[in-house]
Structure 1
Amino acid sequence: MKKTVNILFHISQAKLSHLRPNEATYRLVGSTVDHWMGAGFTVLEQWYDHTDLLLCVAEVNNAQALQIPIRCQPKDLFWLYMLRGKYGLYGARQSKKKLFHISEGSYLLAYMPKGDYVCHFPPGEHVLFYFVFKPSFLFREQDDILGQVQTPFIQLQKQLNQYSGSTLLPIGEESAMQIRHFLRSTHTSYLKRHKAILNLSIDLLLNSITALRQREKQEKSRKQMIESISAYAETAVAAGDILDLHHIAKNYPLAERSLRRLFKVITGQSFWQYVIDRKMLLAPKLLTDAGYSSLQTANHFNLSHARFCKLFKARHRLTPGEYIKKYRCK
């Protein structure tokens, strides 16, 4: 399997060597070495071209912020593990959109369409470990295990042209220990090395699927929780009840602060903004169908009259009085 990611440094930016430097953190016996040396930075890649996959560890040392242009040749699914430091991946053209940002101790699955990208590294020392399975290996037979996680495997199978990445996941003690053991091993035997590469990659693949399934269940559960809270809030608003998020949080396995944060992540707005939106959606019906006055409606929503009038006009572009005159049936 040919190397799937190629660095695109210009000859004036860095000098390329295929010798492993003595100061390398890891020394992968029998690996291919690409060592880039530029002004104030070095990039060392050590990689194995396995029959069914490519495995690589990259070390980046830079005194200043560094942008590394790369090119992905085929459309591939990457397992990316940040062992030290952090970096972000961006599109190289048009919008230069941020695709992901990953920090030490995290990993993700990233489907990368063919094209150019830019890696942004802050000053420091960074170690990235990744592997890529050939699609012919992953989809050699139909496997229920792969089918348990939809994205980004579907992107790979359909060879789509849009980036897709999993949520960031913690590497975990077991996986971290497996990776470190492999990187520090000194397999001089090709057969033992071949076996170790495949065993490690398959173990990490299976661990990632288990983690993604657990995360999907967790996210589904949290989404249902927020939907339940939203429905409760909507009923309370209609009834004119006073809402107390601290009291609501006692009925769920989250602290009030965590609940606030989760609500905003899932709905895109704060809990109180959601409550105000529900009130402003219901207000026209009270003013017209129910025949409420502006003051009665404000009292129903537990708002001062001035506050209610300001919110109503911002939402409906009319004062409550103007709305009544325009829409209430005589």
Structure 2
Amino acid sequence: MAIWTTYTGSFCPKFGIYHIDDWIFLLHTNAMEKPVLLDMPLYFEGEAQYKEKCPPTVTHRLAYADCSYWKHPAFSIIEQWYDARDAFICLLEINTRITLDLPVNCQRHDLYWLYALRGSLTLDQPEDASAMELTIPHAHYCIAYIPPDDFNLRIPQGKHLFFYFVIKSDWLLRRPSAAGLEEIQSHLAKLRARLMESASTGILHIYDYHRQHIISTAAPSKPLHVEQDCFVYHKVVELLSRSLSDLTKMDEQMGSRPMQLLSAVHELIRQKLGTGEHIVISHLAEAFDVSPTYLNRIHRAHYASSLKRYIDQQKFEFARFLLAEQQLSVNDAAHLSGYTQASSFTKQFTLFFGFSPSELSRKDDD
């Protein structure tokens, strides 16, 4: 079958199996559901027009893709996606004159390869301050494990182009040893256990080869429909392999001074917990003779989360321990957590956990 010869690999028509290097895709398995549902806030619905067809102004067009197009006086959103059965790709183009907060629902436990080709995005759960907040700046990407849940997608003013792909979990977990996928082993373990806690790798840089490979998924020449799935598999496997290489390089770089510095900073934070001292990032940076900007940058690069968020998480987990296990009063827990006023502590604690410290005390009393 000559149509397969343009791809690196082989095809078995009897069983519908496409083989790329050491990766195997079953072409007639059940199709994947769309993994992410993007919704329009109610306050925009009156002025936002919706169509299931890409406008002529779309920058890149995916072959055989489905499309959702919202047009509003202040913004436009073009979402294109293609389901290749064992892999799913999506291209999201947003032009906006305002900051957008868009509700999104992730449908399943999945690993996502998320690329900010132009512009930036933040994915979080505002009602759950303890949940992961993922920010991907311009020209960067990451791999994230995300369970089925509701999230908020924040898009700042400007022009944005995002790309993501998902590989069917049955295929990713096909080999118990996950040979060749060691760099994402912890995320595969979360996927296998179907945990409800999100997690991500560090933020990785998008180079020209990433960009060219992604943009080529919207190739000017439209392949035959029977070729499209294999075309997509070839692209996502190449991007997956690149990401593993990028993670290895990042680990090598972070394994020296930056990683040692972050470990020391985390240890200092743990030492300060319970002393009543207010933990300030500028003081931490001064203790290690670095700038707060640098400290924040390397923390976000390695943990995909801000240092402030890490401090808050440690502080409130410690406060919960004091209340639940040590049975301290709210005033004492507030003081030991670095707060001078219990009212401020109660407000922040409630925002973080979704229940007040006094409620926690009552639960333990019951």
TM-score interval for Structure 1 and Structure 2 normalised by the shorter chain? 0.5 to 0.7
Could you say what secondary structure the match of 1:20 adopts? coil
**Paired residue for 1:194?**
229
**Paired residue for 2:247?**
212
| Cα-to-partner distance string for 1:246-276 (whole Å, 9 max, x where unaligned) | xxxxxxxxxx86899469967x99xxxxxxx
| Cα-to-partner distance string for 1:295-321 (whole Å, 9 max, x where unaligned) | xxxxxxxxxxxxxxxxxxxxxxxxxxx
**Paired residue for 2:66?**
32
Which of 39, 49, 57 is equivalent to 1:23?
Answer: 57
Looking at structure 2, the residues matched to 151 and 64 of structure 1 have their Cα atoms a distance apart, in angstroms, of 37
Which of 79, 97, 110 is equivalent to 2:113?
Answer: 79
| Cα-to-partner distance string for 1:15-66 (whole Å, 9 max, x where unaligned) | 3210110000011121001112223111111100111011000001111111
Deviation at 1:188, TM superposition (A): 3.6
Deviation at 1:225, TM superposition (A): 5.5
After superposition, the Cα gap between the structure-2 partners of 1:262 and 1:12, relative to the gap in structure 1 and judged at 3 Å, is closer
Letter paired with 2:129? S
| Cα-to-partner distance string for 1:76-135 (whole Å, 9 max, x where unaligned) | 110001111111111143338561111221000011111111111111110000001110
**Paired residue for 1:100?**
134
Could you say what secondary structure the match of 1:149 adopts? helix
Normalised to the residue count of structure 2, the TM-score between the two structures is: 0.60
Identity among equivalent pairs (%): 27
Normalised to the residue count of structure 1, the TM-score between the two structures is: 0.66
Pair 1:168 & 2:199 matched: no
**Paired residue for 1:145?**
180
Could you say what secondary structure the match of 2:133 adopts? strand
Looking at structure 2, the residues matched to 260 and 43 of structure 1 have their Cα atoms a distance apart, in angstroms, of 33
Of structures 1 and 2, the one scoring higher in RCO (CA 8 A, sep 6+) is: 2
**Paired residue for 1:110?**
144
- Residue correspondences, number: 243
Superposed CA RMSD in Å reads 2.9
After superposition, the Cα gap between the structure-2 partners of 1:265 and 1:182, relative to the gap in structure 1 and judged at 3 Å, is closer
Letter paired with 1:211? D
Looking at structure 2, the residues matched to 222 and 125 of structure 1 have their Cα atoms a distance apart, in angstroms, of 36
After superposition, the Cα gap between the structure-2 partners of 1:21 and 1:215, relative to the gap in structure 1 and judged at 3 Å, is same
Letter paired with 2:51? S
Task: Report which stretch shifted further, 154-163 or 175-184.
Answer: 175-184
**Paired residue for 1:134?**
168
Letter paired with 1:139? L
Task: Report which stretch shifted further, 212-221 or 93-102.
Answer: 93-102
Looking at structure 2, the residues matched to 225 and 67 of structure 1 have their Cα atoms a distance apart, in angstroms, of 36
Letter paired with 1:178? H
After superposition, the Cα gap between the structure-2 partners of 1:258 and 1:141, relative to the gap in structure 1 and judged at 3 Å, is same
Looking at structure 1, the residues matched to 240 and 133 of structure 2 have their Cα atoms a distance apart, in angstroms, of 21
**Paired residue for 1:304?**
none
Letter paired with 1:135? S
Q: 8 Å contact 2:108–2:148 — kept in the other structure?
A: yes
Q: 8 Å contact 1:90–1:96 — kept in the other structure?
A: no
* Consecutive unaligned residues in structure 1, runs of 5 or more: 231-255, 270-330
**Paired residue for 1:124?**
158
Q: 8 Å contact 1:47–1:55 — kept in the other structure?
A: yes
**Paired residue for 2:320?**
none
| Cα-to-partner distance string for 1:207-252 (whole Å, 9 max, x where unaligned) | 111111221232222367559999xxxxxxxxxxxxxxxxxxxxxx
Q: 8 Å contact 1:226–1:263 — kept in the other structure?
A: no
After superposition, the Cα gap between the structure-2 partners of 1:15 and 1:229, relative to the gap in structure 1 and judged at 3 Å, is closer
**Paired residue for 1:303?**
none
Letter paired with 2:249? Q
Looking at structure 1, the residues matched to 236 and 171 of structure 2 have their Cα atoms a distance apart, in angstroms, of 12
Could you say what secondary structure the match of 1:144 adopts? coil
Q: 8 Å contact 2:63–2:218 — kept in the other structure?
A: no
**Paired residue for 2:78?**
44
**Paired residue for 1:89?**
123
**Paired residue for 1:3?**
34
Looking at structure 2, the residues matched to 154 and 2 of structure 1 have their Cα atoms a distance apart, in angstroms, of 22
Letter paired with 1:155? K
Larger Rg: 1
After superposition, the Cα gap between the structure-2 partners of 1:264 and 1:119, relative to the gap in structure 1 and judged at 3 Å, is closer
Moved over 4 A (4+): 223-230, 256-266
Deviation at 1:201, TM superposition (A): 0.3
Deviation at 1:153, TM superposition (A): 2.2
After superposition, the Cα gap between the structure-2 partners of 1:189 and 1:167, relative to the gap in structure 1 and judged at 3 Å, is same
